[in-house]
Amino acid sequence: MELVRYLIEPRRWTTLPGRWEGVFGRRAPLAVEIGFGNGEFLVQAARQHPDWDLLGFELSLTCIAKAASRLAREGLANVRLARVDGRFALRELFPDRSLTQVYVHFPCPWPKARHARRRLITPDFARTLAAVLEIGGGFELNTDAQWYAYQAREALEAEGRFLVRGPWALEGKGPGTRYERKWLGQGRKIFRVWAELRLPGSVERIAEGDMPHARVNVEVSREALLSLAGLKESWPGGAFMIKEVFLSPGGERALARAFSTDEGFEQHYLIALEKGWGGWLVKLDGAAVPFRTPAVKRSVAAVAAALEGKGP
Ligand SMILES: C[S@@+](CC[C@H](N)C(=O)[O-])C[C@H]1O[C@@H](n2cnc3c(N)ncnc32)[C@H](O)[C@@H]1O
């Protein structure tokens, strides 16, 4: 029940970036927390700023469920949660200069060089932040990894639009989260980096609301449908692959399980193939809707093209 109240599904929106006034039913300053864990900070921030609306982005469904219970117990109405990669969400779901504050508390630093691309605070992140924050808007990072704090500072400074402070070691209370308690309990220090946007930036967005679909005006055999498994394409910055195909008993409907990546943003989804009057319709299936990125659109078009090539 709590999940229904707090969880939003931006993948299903027909318009991106989001219309946040519609989501919250009011126009208010917007703040974001990425990787909110069990939601302690969101609860505290929502209580402290009843005049703000807050968005939390998490990858873990367990964390989302815990945070939703916590929010419901407090009866808070000015928070929504989404299971979306925060890096992607920040860039694709918010118009330029729409955010008052962005928080990241104790992101995994991914210390190994081969995992570096998983890090949250990067030059790309700083570019996005400079576009979506309002002038005077703030970014706060808390981390136990001093080297990561310095790297974040470097990325923010290199963007050339922020006044950056820190990292400094916190003396008093931090964001009050589980990981803060964990690291303090192990005797570690907490480092904070803070940045205020001074000059507006811009960023290129890749997701659109339009649902890609295609018509295939040829007869399609069961073999042609099944042979879509393994179809793949890659190009600089993106790729997709059809992993497997499921056929209905009558052969008039198929589902292709697809994987795509756009600049490292990975999605799993289903492409539906349905036989209708005079041909087949190829479209995204409603059960696992992805964001409509270039790779997703290309996969739908490629499935249709492959079927047309295989027609009699
Ligand atoms: C180390 S935990 C910290 C949780 C919480 N902020 C705290 O301080 O207790 C990092 C959290 O970030 C989430 N996370 C990691 N990468 C993410 C991403 N790209 N977008 C959203 N959440 C992410 C993880 O699922 C995890 O819950």
Q: What's the rounded mean pLDDT across residues 116-132?
A: 94
pLDDT digits (tens, 9 = 90+) for 87-104: 999 999 999 999 999 999
User: Of all residues in the chain, what percent carry a pLDDT higher than 70?
Assistant: 98
Q: Is 186 helix (H, G, I), strand (E, B) or coil?
A: coil
CA distance 213 to 296: 11
Q: For position 268, what pLDDT does the model report?
A: 96
pTM of the model: 0.92
Q: For position 175, what pLDDT does the model report?
A: 93
Nearest to 89 by CA among 153, 35, 40: 35
Structure tokens of 130?
């400079």
Nearest to 175 by CA among 300, 29, 44: 44
Q: Give 231 Cα–ligand 1 centroid separation in angstroms.
A: 34
Q: For position 310, what pLDDT does the model report?
A: 53
308 lines ligand 1 (CB under 6 A): no
pLDDT tier at 311 (50, 70, 90 boundaries)? Answer: very low
Q: Which domains does the chain have, with CATH numbers?
A: 2-197 (3.40.50.150), 213-310 (no CATH)
Structure tokens of 136?
């005077």
Q: For position 1, what pLDDT does the model report?
A: 66
Per the model's pLDDT, the better-predicted residue between 251 and 164 turns out to be 164
> Which of 32, 58, 263 has most ligand 1 atoms within 8 Å of CB, for mutation?
58
pLDDT digits (tens, 9 = 90+) for 186-245: 999 999 999 999 999 999 999 987 778 899 988 888 899 999 999 999 999 999 999 999
Question: Residue 251 above 50 pLDDT?
Answer: yes
CA distance 248 to 208: 30
C-beta separation of 35 from 125 below 8 A? no
pLDDT tier at 4 (50, 70, 90 boundaries)? Answer: confident
Q: For position 5, what pLDDT does the model report?
A: 86
DSSP letter assigned to residue 175:
S
CA distance 226 to 210: 27
C-beta separation of 109 from 143 below 8 A? yes
Q: What's the rounded mean pLDDT across residues 147-157?
A: 97
Peptide bond just before 200 cis, omega within 30 deg: no
Report the relative pairing of strands 79-82 and 53-57 from DSSP bridges: parallel
Q: Whose CA is nearest to atom 13 of ligand 1?
A: 35
C-beta separation of 224 from 311 below 8 A? yes
